[in-house]
Every structure is written in C-alpha cells, then in structure tokens.
Amino acid sequence: MKKIITIAGSNSQKSINKSLITYTNSLLENVEIISIDLNDYVLPIYGADFEAENGIPTTVKRLDELFNTADGFIVSLAEHNGSYAAVFKNTIDCYFSFHNHFLF
C-alpha cells in the first residue's frame, strides 16, 4: 500500500488548510495516510550559526524518518503577504539543511 504524507503548511489551530487536508484525506482510498501537524514539529528559526552550535534538531530527524517512508506528499499552503507561511518555510529550510540539497 502506498504511503502519502499530508501537511497543512500553517501553525494556526483554525487553519483553512488543515480543514482542506482533512477533507482531502477523506477522499483518498487504498493508501496509508500520515497527516503532519507542524505544531507537533516545533523548530528553532533556522540559522547556520544555530546549526553549527547545536547540530540538527531532533525534530528534523523525526521528519526525515517519516519523509523517507513516503511514496508521495500532499501539501496545502497558507498564503501570507504573497508567500507561504513562515512556519512552513522554516521547516523546509531546516529539513533541507539537514540533507544539504534542494527540493527542486
């Protein structure tokens, strides 16, 4: 069975994107769904100095373990000032610093 990770790219408890992910999850069939709430993966604001002094946060390693098991992702992103939410950007920055490569 394929494993799909769904993420609402917001840390708001009342996020429309969380509702959209919940609805989307209800439409998926014959897949294992892992829904990630970014509030469960709190990270420091990414910075090279922080990483040099403290290493890779345990939270990033937890995400990595999940992401490595996925066959696909569904992401619903909030829009803030013409871009996606800072919490999502920070998560991606921390995660890909760990891997030292880019998403695209």
DSSP of 33-81: EEEEEGGGS--PPP-HHHHHHH-S-HHHHHHHHHHTT-SEEEEEE-EET
CB neighbours of residue 69 within 10 Å: 11
Domain that holds residue 41: 2-99
Cα angle value 76/42/67 (rounded, 5°):
55
Could you give the number of structural domains in the chain?
1
Q: Is residue 104 assigned to a domain?
A: no
The CATH number linked to 76 is 3.40.50.360
pLDDT tens sequence for the chain (104 residues)? 999 999 999 999 899 999 999 999 999 999 999 999 999 999 999 988 988 899 889 999 999 999 999 999 999 998 888 888 999 999 999 998 887 644 44
State the pTM of this model: 0.85
